[in-house]
Amino acid sequence: MDRGSNFEALMVRYQAGDFVAATTLIERVSPQLHRFFGMQPGSRADADDLLQEAWLRIHRARHTYRPGEPVLPWIYAIARRVRVDHYRRSMRRTVHEQHLEDLSEAATKIPYTGCVQTDDLEELLAPLSESQREIIEMLKVAGMSLEEVARATSSSVGSVKQKVHRAYKKLRQRVSLSGLKKRPSRALP
């Protein structure tokens, strides 16, 4: 049984009230979702909260999942909505709050213990637009298909392909400008 159909089977059992299936699904999908939330600029500290919020929403909306459909696009559509809502809330707070200088000083004293590989990927994807980063993360980090990404982002497959093409073009330009050794064309299609 491949990974996708395994997730679908777990989701169907979860809908039927199987606690073990729900726990297994959460354990298997959470690392991907955590990376999805953690790779966005400024949200690394919020990734745990966003992951928890996503699972709460998934739990509340589990009855809307249609058996037989791929589950990852359904989950990522909910996660994407969580991230958008978080961004909007934080923007409203920023507008209404006074920035304190000593908060930024305190933040610089906190050591970061994150993964170097995530930092490298984050740095590489930095010049991409939010939607391009999101699609690259779903395709390459989460391993979703073009069709699944299209469903999760409420886009057409053609639109996803176009964004991916433009993202790859930007990434190639960045790699060539930075003087890094160019990889074979299969590395970035």
101-112 pLDDT, tens digit each: 444 444 444 444
Give CATH for domain 3-177.
1.10.1740.10
Tokens at 157, concatenated = 């497959």
Q: Within 13 A of 111's CA, how many CA atoms are on the CB side?
A: 1
pLDDT at 102: 44
Q: Where do the structural domains in the chain lie, given as residue ranges?
A: 3-177
Counting every residue written for the chain, the total comes to: 189
pTM, two decimals, is 0.57
Question: Residue 142 in contact with residue 36, Cβ under 8 Å?
Answer: yes
Measured distance CA(181)–CA(186) in Å, rounded: 14
pLDDT, greater one: 74 or 90: 74
Over residues 42-47, the mean pLDDT reads 71
Question: Residue 138 in contact with residue 91, Cβ under 8 Å?
Answer: no
pLDDT in tens, 109-166: 444 444 445 566 777 777 888 888 888 888 887 788 888 888 888 888 888 888 888 8
pLDDT at 41: 64
Measured distance CA(151)–CA(134) in Å, rounded: 13
Question: Residue 75 in contact with residue 29, Cβ under 8 Å?
Answer: yes
The model's confidence at residue 57, banded by pLDDT at 50, 70 and 90, is very high
3-state helix, strand, coil in the chain (%, to 5): 75, 0, 25
Measured in whole angstroms, the distance separating CA 134 from the mean position of its chain's CA atoms is 6
Measured distance CA(153)–CA(73) in Å, rounded: 8
**What are the φ/ψ torsions at residue 50 (nearest 5 degrees)?**
-65, -40
